[in-house]
Amino acid sequence: MASMCYRKRPRPTVVREQALEIRTAAGTVHILRFESDSAEQQSALTELFDRTADYQELNTRLDACKKNLAKLTELDARRALAAVARDVAATAATDFFPGKSQGQVQSALADAEAALNARFSPNEPRPAHRKIPRRDLTDYCGRTWATRQHMWIDRVCSAWLIRRFIDPKAKFVWLKRIQDKPKRAIGFDFDGAEFSHVESKVTFEVLLTSFGLEGDLGLARLGALVHFLDVGGIPVAEAPGLAAIVSGARSLQPDDDALLLSVAPALDSLYHTYLMEQG
């Protein structure tokens, strides 16, 4: 049995995610609301769960990660940042009265991830401000798709999504320069591409919305995972594992075709795990 204590207005997404993890492990969850009798009692309770010192230590580690980027290989840099990200998530999970300190460390984590991606995965797309039109799958069969070479999370997961759910006969072109995109190829995950970041959605999520796939709960869970790894936000437990897999594959595989083939089984497994967890 597991019990969780939350402030008067809990964060629903975090509560649901933690409850799901406990139930998946055959545990029992009871989520109870607590309301103090007085301001003094509330203050005393809050002090018991003060995580300020923990967040300060995490901020120091994140600063060190950023300063050491130039000295590390991509695999080592991502491994170091993933370790801090796990500790940030663990601390946040026990921070029942989050305040400025949690927001600061989440912002610092996002900055560190952005710095890492800027070094090892440059030219990330800027979000467009527009509506996402619905597309017809029949118009995207047997097409050639193009994105930037040396794929990272959003691109490799989007390529998997395209071949798995949108265009099973898709062919891919990996661009050293965006200007080299073949005229009839469908671009994704770069500025000016047909499918790329829109508002707060990353390319994977835009593809889900464009082709009416957002109702698939397994894909929606994957979308949340890709979103966190690409632009930050709500932590996802599987994020460090997937980041390590993709980072290792990028260092081992000779090209992006091999990278996609290498990562696809892990994404297939994650997708089916998410489906099973939904019951």
Tokens linked to 61? 């580690």
What would the two tokens of residue 123 be? 């030219």
The pLDDT value given to residue 204: 98
Render each residue's pLDDT in the chain as its tens digit; 279 residues: 444 444 444 455 556 666 766 776 667 877 766 666 777 777 777 777 788 999 999 999 999 999 998 888 877 888 888 889 889 888 988 888 888 899 899 889 888 887 887 787 767 888 899 999 999 999 999 999 999 999 999 999 999 999 999 999 999 999 999 999 999 999 999 999 999 999 999 999 999 999 999 999 999 999 999 998 888 777 788 988 898 899 899 989 999 999 999 999 999 999 999 999 876
Name residue 126's amino acid.
R
* 134: its two tokens: 């619905």
Go through 35-61 and write b for each residue having 16 or more CB atoms within 10 A of its CB, e for each that does not.
Answer: eeeeeeebeeeeeeeebeebbeebbeb
248/263 Cα distance (integer angstroms) = 10
Beta strands 29-33; 171-175: pairing state: unpaired
Distances (CA, A) of 122 to 67, 129, 211, 251, 263: 18, 21, 28, 16, 21
Q: What is the DSSP string of 195-257?
A: B--BTTB-HHHHHHHHTT-TT-HHHHHHHHHHHHHHH--S--TTHHHHHHHHHHHHHH-SSHH
- Residue 76, pLDDT score: 85
Claim: this prediction has a pTM higher than 0.85? no
Rounded-to-integer distance, Cα 156 and Cα 162, Å: 10
| Beta-carbon count within 10 A of 166 CB | 22
| Burial bucket for residue 203 (CB in 10 Å: 0-12, 13-18, 19+) | buried
Contact 142, 169 (CB under 8 A): yes
Beta-bridge partner residues of 255: none
Burial zone of 96 (CB within 10 Å; 0-12 exposed, 13-18 middle, 19+ buried): middle
